[in-house]
Amino acid sequence: MTRQIFAIALLTLVLTGPQAMAQGRDGFRILVMGDSLMAMHKLVGLSVSSTVRRMTGAQVTDRAIGGARYFYRLPISGALGLNIKQQYHRGNWDWVVLNGGGNDLWLGCGCNRCERRMNRLISRDGRRGMIPGFLSRLRQDGAQVIYVGYLRSPGVNSPIEHCADEGDEFDRRMARLAALDRGLHFMPLADMVPHGDLSYHALDRIHPSVKASRHIGARIANVIASQTQGTVSRNALTGN
């Protein structure tokens, strides 16, 4: 019981601490969600969202939590963010940036015989599943969406080396989904890590290093910058 209370307290600190909200100058609003790819280095102010805030000058709210997944049944910790869908709170977001699915595949089926789990996340054609349904909800609320893929392992004794095929298939399905909606942008990371280069991963060779988090944030900021001359979001257009 004590350990559960401690875990809940830690989640609350991450969600509501000084790194959770960073106020920018220019008024548009970005919500960041997802798992440890997004949350890594948050407590020291060096997460993906830190670079996004610095490069865009936007108001950035970061609700990402390490270990989060889509299929998560515990109600209390799920409501605090370990369920990725529970990280979302409706608001006048111009952009929602998120990732997810890796923990569902790695922890849920060990990146082995994952077809059923993958289909529940997103179908082959990208049209059905938990992720398309969730992203449709975000789009209906007015924001543009950036869905971020996963780093590949450096190819040097990584615990996730055997997940490469699942990662490639997940990317293909997400790309098909993004092609259906001009306000949904899929940003794969499969090309970021050179083979044998350990500088993009933490010591566990799973999570992003500070360098990788900075590079991921820069890519996200560039996607946002490329779209600002067009329609940023329905919320921005209506002034809500």
Q: What is the pLDDT of residues 38-61, one digit of tens each?
A: 999 999 999 999 999 999 999 999
pLDDT tier for residue 115 given thresholds of 50, 70 and 90: very high
* pLDDT for residue 229: 56
- pLDDT tens digit sequence for 143-163: 999 999 999 988 878 888 889
CB 105 within 8 A of CB 114: yes
Q: Examine residue 239 and state whether it is found in any structural domain, yes or no.
A: no
Q: What is the CATH number of the domain that holds 122?
A: 3.40.50.1110
Please report whether residue 114 resides in a domain: yes
Does some domain include residue 124?
Answer: yes
> What is the C-alpha to C-alpha distance for residues 18 and 206, in angstroms, rounded to an integer?
26
The tally of domains found in the chain comes to 1
Q: What is the pLDDT of residue 199?
A: 97
Average pLDDT of the residues in 62-89: 92
DSSP string, 131-143: HHHHHHHHHHTT-
**Is the residue at 18 inside a domain?**
no
Q: How many Å apart are CA 97 and CA 164, to the nearest integer?
A: 23
Whether residue 20 is contained in a domain is answered as: no
Q: Please report where in the chains the tokens 């959770």 appear, as a residue.
A: 20
Q: How many residues are there in the chain?
A: 240
Listed residue (136, 234, 213) closest to 178, CA to CA: 136
Task: Let me know if residue 2 belongs to a domain.
Answer: no
Strands of 21-22's sheet in order across? 21-22, 59-62, 29-33, 95-98, 144-148, 184-187
The reply to whether the predicted model has a pTM over 0.75 is yes
Q: Is 238 among the domain residues?
A: no
Query: What local confidence, expressed as pLDDT, does residue 58 receive?
Result: 96
Burial class of residue 73 in the structure, from the number of CB atoms within 10 Å of its CB (0-12 exposed, 13-18 middle, 19+ buried):
exposed
DSSP reduced 3-state for 81: helix
CB atoms near residue 227 (< 10 Å)? 18
Query: What is the pLDDT, as a whole number, of residue 44?
Result: 97
Nearest one of 185, 214, 183, 188 to 199, comparing CA atoms: 214
What are the angstrom distances between the C-alpha of 189 and each of 51, 76, 167, 214, 233?
A: 16, 32, 10, 13, 24
Mean pLDDT over residues 211-239, rounded? 76
Domain containing residue 100: 29-231
d(CA 181, CA 238): 20
Q: Is residue 212 part of a domain?
A: yes
Place of tokens 């865009």: 56
